[in-house]
Amino acid sequence: MSRERALVDCAWVAERLGDPLVVLVEVDERPLVYRLGHVPDSHCLDWHGDLQDPVARDLPAPDAVERVWRRLGIDERSTVVFYGDNSNWYACFGAWLFRHYGLEDVRLLDGGRQAWLAEGLPLTTEEPPENVAASAPAAHLMPHYRALCGQVAAAATDGIQLLDVRTPAEFRGDLLTEPGYPQEAAQRPGHIPGARNVPWDVTLGADGRLLPDDELRIVLAGHGVDLERPAITYCRIGERSAHTWFVLHEILDLPEVRNYDGSWTEWGSMVGMPIELGAGSPSALDSGAATGAPAGAGPSSRARATSSTTTASST
Amino acid sequence: MKSGDDEQVGAAAAAIRAELRRLRTSLSRLEEAVDKLPETRRRSRAAERPRPARYYGVLVSVYERGGRQGIAAGDLGVVGAEGGYDRRGLGGFFAGTRAPLQLVDGRVRLTAEGLRLVDRYLDEVAR
């Protein structure tokens, strides 16, 4: 992927309003903002209702995703464009999920609702009619886009960098969640040993749009991200880390990036997982990789054994 | 090398920090639980000072236009003016322990209370 393939701007969308091959999808942290007004012909997907399994804590099953695709009128020729509030953080989860299930042409409206509003483009409160596709593509898993707990635990051994994209206060363990999200707390604060803190929003400009590629590279390198090495991103429940996944995999074209959607609410709540507090040290990952164990991880063998069990039960 | 006293102080500080974390988490959960009680919701809504729609409009505009980074402090006057507020009358949004807006690095952002009010307004609109 590349910026040209993965990212569109408001003008691109405005020129294609009404194009049946372009499916616009809004995913919001606060889905009710859709009712205040949305991009004409855009559909609203609810993160809880449409992009999660309704019972288990897991991604929706392939047949559920296919039903969503049919409901949105997505077929093999469709270009799907995601956008949303709060600088696209939930929208990116939708984009990641659709890519994870094998949809090829998935793009992001740069800046999301914020950009559309800033440009004074038209909004509507009319919901588009259900445009059921005669034949939606079959959902098939792209196994390289998602990380499960066992893969995260083995990351340092496998030479994979772990990128914690939460706020520095969450990373250090000062807070369990950002203020306003008490329902997303884990049992313990802190971060996965060896992870680097790369807050997801360092990739954004003040207007909510993504920084240009060269600036992205500089900013990410400044946070210790090696753009030549495989990476796993995580946050609290996998949405902010989906944004960073999108930046690394879809925009900057890193070959192997996975999103750990279990994220801190999984890792920080399981018994026996190694946890590190504090700001971490720049050399932590390197020394962990060199010794074959996450730096400061404590009993890493125990962590791997625990996570293997968890992985087996969560897949 | 640390002296025994230093180590004791360090251990005590770490224990206090851990206790503070636990307390913050517990408080957060308790506040959430209390807010969910129907009677509490009714009382707090009744006791809460009624605000005009334009008040919530300012908060929704900050949420919508600010995205993750918030809006530039200089743009708040424009947002306020759209709601009929004089620039000098916007200070109240930042006042008090339950202020809905905060200034962070030159950007205006919603506080947790501000987000709560946005949610409340959106709920009302959706009814």
Same domain for A91 and A213, yes or no, is no
Of B15, B31, B46, which residue constitutes the final position of a domain? B46
Same domain for A161 and A212, yes or no, is yes
Query: How many helical (H) and strand (E) elements, i.e. helices and strands, does chain B have?
Result: 5, 3
- Residues from chain A that touch B99, judged by Cβ atoms under 8 A, are none
Same domain for B37 and B56, yes or no, is no
Number of domains in chain A: 2
A128 vs A183, which has greater pLDDT? A128
Same domain for A97 and A156, yes or no, is no
Is the Cβ pair A114, B67 closer than 8 Å? yes
- Residues from chain B that touch A32, judged by Cβ atoms under 8 A, are 122-123, 125-126
Q: Is residue A129 part of a domain?
A: no
C-alpha distance from A62 to closest chain B C-alpha (Å)? 31
Residue B41's pLDDT is 62
Any idea what the CATH number is for the domain that residue A288 is in?
3.40.250.10
**Per DSSP, what are the bridge partners of residue B57?**
none
Residue A182's pLDDT is 76
Same domain for B37 and B58, yes or no, is no
Same domain for A114 and A160, yes or no, is no
Is the Cβ pair B123, A86 closer than 8 Å? no
Instruction: With a cut of 50, say whether residue A272 has pLDDT above it.
Output: yes
Number of domains in chain B: 2
For B18, name the nearest residue in chain A, comparing CA atoms only.
A174
Is the Cβ pair A206, B69 closer than 8 Å? yes
Instruction: With a cut of 90, say whether residue A231 has pLDDT above it.
Output: yes
SS3 (DSSP) at B23 = helix
Structure tokens at A184: 């997303």
Q: Is residue A36 part of a domain?
A: yes
Same domain for B71 and B99, yes or no, is yes
Q: Are the C-beta atoms of residues A69 and A137 closer than 8 Å to each other?
A: yes
* A57-61, A117-121, A243-247, A291-295: least confidently modelled range: A291-295
Structure tokens at A8: 């569109």
Same domain for B42 and B54, yes or no, is no
Same domain for B100 and B113, yes or no, is yes
Domain residues for the domain of A36 are: 3-118
Of the partner residues B63, B64, B68, the one whose CB lies closest to the CB of residue A201: B68
Same domain for A70 and A175, yes or no, is no
Structure tokens at A117: 């509003």
- Residues from chain A that touch B72, judged by Cβ atoms under 8 A, are 206
Residue A177's pLDDT is 84
Of A118, A135, A158, which residue constitutes the final position of a domain? A118
Same domain for B11 and B28, yes or no, is yes
Which residue among A10, A92, A149, A235 is the active-site one? Answer: A235
Residue B51's pLDDT is 87
Is the Cβ pair A117, B64 closer than 8 Å? yes
Is the Cβ pair A204, B69 closer than 8 Å? yes
Instruction: With a cut of 70, say whether residue A277 has pLDDT above it.
Output: yes
Mean confidence (pLDDT) of chain A: 88
Q: How many CB pairs under 8 A join A and B?
A: 77
C-alpha distance from A175 to closest chain B C-alpha (Å)? 7
For B121, name the nearest residue in chain A, comparing CA atoms only.
A32
- Give CA–CA dist B98/A219, Å, rounded: 35
Domain residues for the domain of B87 are: 50-126
SS3 (DSSP) at B101 = strand
Mutate to test the interface with A, among B64, B110, B119 (most CBs of A within 10 A): B64
C-alpha distance from B116 to closest chain A C-alpha (Å)? 8
Of the partner residues A36, A118, A182, the one whose CB lies closest to the CB of residue B32: A182
Of A101, A118, A135, which residue constitutes the final position of a domain? A118
Best-predicted range by mean pLDDT (A50-54, A183-187, A294-298, B44-48): A50-54
Check: pTM over 0.90? Answer yes or no.
no
Q: Is residue A88 part of a domain?
A: yes
Handedness of CA A109, A115, A120, A126 (dihedral sign): positive
Q: Is residue A201 part of a domain?
A: yes
Is the Cβ pair B21, A35 closer than 8 Å? no
Residues 36-95 in A contacting B (C-alpha not used; CB under 8 Å): 36, 85-87, 89
Is the Cβ pair B63, A85 closer than 8 Å? yes
Q: Does residue A235 carry a catalytic annotation?
A: yes
Query: A102-123: per-residue pLDDT in tens?
Result: 999 999 999 999 999 999 999 9
For A33, name the nearest residue in chain B, comparing CA atoms only.
B122
Is the Cβ pair B65, A87 closer than 8 Å? no
Q: Is residue A135 part of a domain?
A: no
Q: DSSP letter string over chain A?
A: --HHHHEE-HHHHHHTTT-TTEEEEEE-SSTTHHHH-BSTT-EEE-HHHHSS-SSSSSPPPHHHHHHHHHHHT--TT-EEEEE-SGGGHHHHHHHHHHHHTT-S-EEEETTHHHHHHHTT---B-PPPPP---SSPPPP---TTSB--HHHHHTTTTTTPEEEE-S-HHHHHTS-SS-TT-GGG--SS-SB-TT-EE--GGGGB-TTSSBPPHHHHHHHHHHTT--TTS-EEEE-SSSSHHHHHHIIIIIIS--S-EEE-SSHHHHHTTSTT---B-SS--TTHHHHHHHHTS-TT-SSHHHHHHHHHHHHHHH-
Question: What CA–CA distances, in Å, run from A236 to A45, A84, A130, A261, B116?
Answer: 21, 19, 33, 8, 20
For B63, name the nearest residue in chain A, comparing CA atoms only.
A86
Is the Cβ pair B69, A87 closer than 8 Å? yes
Q: What is the pLDDT along chain B (127 residues), one digit of tens a residue?
A: 557 788 888 788 777 877 877 777 777 777 777 766 766 666 665 556 778 999 999 999 999 999 999 999 999 999 999 999 998 889 999 999 899 999 999 999 999 999 999 999 999 888 8
Q: Is residue A128 part of a domain?
A: no
Same domain for A96 and A226, yes or no, is no
Same domain for B75 and B25, yes or no, is no
Chain B residues at the A interface, defined by Cβ less than 8 Å, are 21, 24-25, 28-29, 31-32, 60, 63-69, 72, 107, 111-112, 115-116, 118-119, 122-123, 125-126
Same domain for B60 and B118, yes or no, is yes
- Residues from chain B that touch A177, judged by Cβ atoms under 8 A, are 28
Same domain for B11 and B69, yes or no, is no
Is the Cβ pair A85, B28 closer than 8 Å? no
C-alpha distance from B16 to closest chain A C-alpha (Å)? 12
Residue B49's pLDDT is 72
Residue A199's pLDDT is 97
Same domain for A83 and A168, yes or no, is no
